[in-house]
């Protein structure tokens, strides 16, 4: 699984539609981080441009965000990406919290 988080420094960027960077986490089969990649979005991230396609091409299947523009969830879904909202704070803690939630959902 690959998880993308709009990032500003070490904090989740609350404004996904204008973020400049995504941090992409590659997880192994036990949901441990095995790789981290920074994806720069020089035009700013906007689901009306090609960022969902770029994320899909990188194998991303999950996006964690604070809030998404109205159209973003459907566009992400069209590219095989599931978007989860309501996240904020330090990116490493956001990932940890999501994985805890995911584990509970799958048991």
What's the whole-model pTM score?
A: 0.88
Q: Which residue has the higher pLDDT, 63 or 17?
A: 63
* 38 strand-pairing partners: 23
pLDDT in tens, 67-100: 887 777 888 899 999 999 999 999 999 999 999 9
d(CA 18, CA 96): 24
The set of residues, in sequence order, having a beta carbon less than 8 Å from that of 96 and lying 6+ positions away, is none
């Amino acid at each position: 699984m690959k998880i993308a988080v709009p990032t500003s420094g070490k904090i989740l960027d609350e404004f996904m539609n204008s973020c400049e960077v995504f941090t992409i986490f590659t997880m192994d089969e036990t949901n441990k981080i095995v790789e981290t990649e920074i994806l720069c979005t020089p035009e700013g991230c906007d689901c009306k441009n090609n960022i969902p396609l770029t994320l899909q091409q990188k194998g991303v299947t999950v996006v964690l965000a604070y809030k998404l523009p109205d159209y973003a969830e459907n566009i992400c879904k069209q590219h095989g990406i599931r978007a989860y909202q309501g996240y904020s704070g330090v990116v490493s803690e956001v990932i940890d919290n999501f994985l805890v939630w995911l584990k509970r959902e799958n048991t």
